[in-house]
């Protein structure tokens, strides 16, 4: 399952005229703070990097004996993991394709992990939590038990790219130095600034340092360091955004509710089942609404959160016209 993509090029409308609900990115982005010329002209400073990491440590509630480093987006970290953790890996599926693709590209064996076919203790294990696109959320205690059951030299990788709306469910505050866990955090999704390319890796020190060393000292731009720190410290904006996203997704779920139609959700996206999902996707695209379809699951559509009442009305009216056909 690939990421949501850009809406198709349509010369009859401006790019911004599309209602893009395909990505699961917060549609109301964090307001950019004022930057100074040094942020753009100077090399990223170690002092600003440490300030960002200090803000992230507080934001993610990271234990003192757990390491954290910044990376240029979680996608970049995903692509480096197979090089520092060679060997077979199991991926909890169904989930998005980036993890499987990265390990397969390096020639590693990749297996599917599920309650019916659990991973072996001799394999690395990847769990996206909450899962994309199903929204399934695994309790932190279950993840800790999975890590405790792995054989030496095997690692549990937890992708928490969509955890910001439910921070109390994160495994991060429960990490211990002895646990072979590395957690991936996305900055761009909840803060709505995917183009900033900022993420974090958190976990056992040797694992975090091995991954961080793949990127060098200047992998995070000066503007990203300053914007990231400011956003991570802005608790008032974070609380308001969580409330808005929950209200928006509650409203969408209420509208879409039907027999077995809601397969799962977070407050950043919702997975919807429709017997004619392919045609519904095309119907919405004709009205310049872009959703996420899945070639492997032709009855699934994923919707991101509409930003405004106007966007919500446009979506619901368009779906209503489809149901009336």
* pLDDT recorded at residue 179: 95
* pLDDT recorded at residue 2: 57
* pLDDT recorded at residue 114: 77
* pLDDT recorded at residue 124: 94
Torsions phi, psi of 166, nearest 5?
A: -130, 60
Scored b (16 or more CB within 10 A) or e, 190-222 reads bbbbbebbbbbbbbbeebbebbbeebeeebbbb
Residue 303's pLDDT band, with cuts at 50, 70 and 90, is very high
* pLDDT recorded at residue 7: 73
In whole angstroms, what is the distance from residue 139 CA to residue 116 CA? 18
Cβ–Cβ under 8 Å, residues 152 and 177: no
pLDDT digits (tens, 9 = 90+) for 116-165: 566 677 789 999 999 999 999 999 999 999 999 998 899 999 999 999 99
In whole angstroms, what is the distance from residue 232 CA to residue 136 CA? 25
Strand partners, 112: 91
* pLDDT recorded at residue 3: 57
Instruction: Answer yes or no: is pLDDT of 176 > 50.
Output: yes
Please list, in sequence order, all residues whose beta carbon lies within 8 angstroms of the beta carbon of residue 243, skipping any fewer than 6 positions away: none
* pLDDT recorded at residue 217: 87
Please list, in sequence order, all residues whose beta carbon lies within 8 angstroms of the beta carbon of residue 91, skipping any fewer than 6 positions away: 99, 100, 103, 110, 111, 112, 113, 125, 126
Output the average pLDDT for the chain: 92
Strand partners, 304: 269
pLDDT digits (tens, 9 = 90+) for 190-204: 999 999 999 999 999
Residue 13's pLDDT band, with cuts at 50, 70 and 90, is very low
In whole angstroms, what is the distance from residue 26 CA to residue 188 CA? 8
Instruction: Answer yes or no: is pLDDT of 294 > 60.
Output: yes
pLDDT digits (tens, 9 = 90+) for 47-102: 999 999 999 999 999 999 999 999 999 999 999 999 999 889 999 999 999 999 99
Residue 21's pLDDT band, with cuts at 50, 70 and 90, is very high
* pLDDT recorded at residue 113: 87
Top CATH class of 37-233 equals alpha beta
* pLDDT recorded at residue 323: 77
Position with higher pLDDT, 122 vs 299: 299
Residue carrying structure tokens 């599917």: 112
Q: What is the pTM of this model?
A: 0.94
Top CATH class of 15-28+236-324 equals alpha beta
Angle at 57 between CA 55 and CA 62, to 5 degrees: 160
Q: Could you tell me the residue ranges of all domains in the chain?
A: 15-28+236-324, 37-233
In whole angstroms, what is the distance from residue 17 CA to residue 289 CA? 9
* pLDDT recorded at residue 11: 41
Residue 4's pLDDT band, with cuts at 50, 70 and 90, is low
């Amino acid at each position: 399952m690939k990421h949501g993509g850009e809406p198709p090029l349509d010369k009859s409308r401006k790019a911004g005229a599309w209602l893009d609900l395909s990505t699961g990115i917060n549609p109301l982005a964090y307001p950019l703070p004022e930057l100074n010329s040094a942020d753009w002209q100077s090399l990223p400073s170690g002092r600003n990097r440490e300030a960002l990491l200090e803000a992230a440590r507080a934001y993610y509630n990271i234990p003192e004996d757990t390491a954290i480093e910044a990376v240029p987006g979680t996608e970049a970290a995903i692509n480096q993991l197979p090089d520092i953790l060679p060997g077979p890996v199991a991926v909890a599926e169904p989930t998005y394709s980036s993890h499987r693709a990265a390990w397969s590209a390096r020639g590693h064996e990749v297996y599917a992990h599920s309650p019916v076919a659990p991973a072996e203790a001799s394999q690395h294990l990847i769990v996206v939590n909450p899962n994309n696109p199903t929204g399934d959320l695994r309790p932190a205690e279950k993840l800790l038990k999975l890590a405790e059951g792995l054989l030496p030299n095997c690692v549990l990788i937890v992708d928490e790219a969509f955890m910001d709306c439910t921070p109390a469910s994160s495994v991060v505050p429960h990490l211990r130095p002895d646990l072979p866990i590395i957690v991936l955090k996305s900055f761009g999704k909840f803060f709505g600034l995917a183009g900033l390319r900022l993420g974090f890796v958190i976990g056992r020190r040797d694992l975090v340092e091995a991954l961080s060393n793949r990127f060098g000292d200047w992998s995070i731009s000066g503007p990203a360091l300053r914007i990231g720190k400011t956003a991570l410290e802005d608790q008032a904006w974070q609380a308001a955004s969580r409330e808005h996203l929950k209200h928006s997704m509650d409203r969408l779920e209420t509208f879409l509710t039907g027999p077995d139609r809601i397969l799962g959700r977070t407050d950043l996206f919702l997975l919807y089942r429709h017997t004619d999902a392919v045609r519904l996707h095309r119907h919405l695209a004709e009205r310049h609404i872009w959703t996420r379809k899945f070639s492997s699951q032709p009855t699934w559509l994923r919707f991101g959160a509409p930003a405004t009442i106007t966007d919500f009305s446009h979506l619901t009216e368009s779906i209503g016209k489809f149901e009336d056909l």
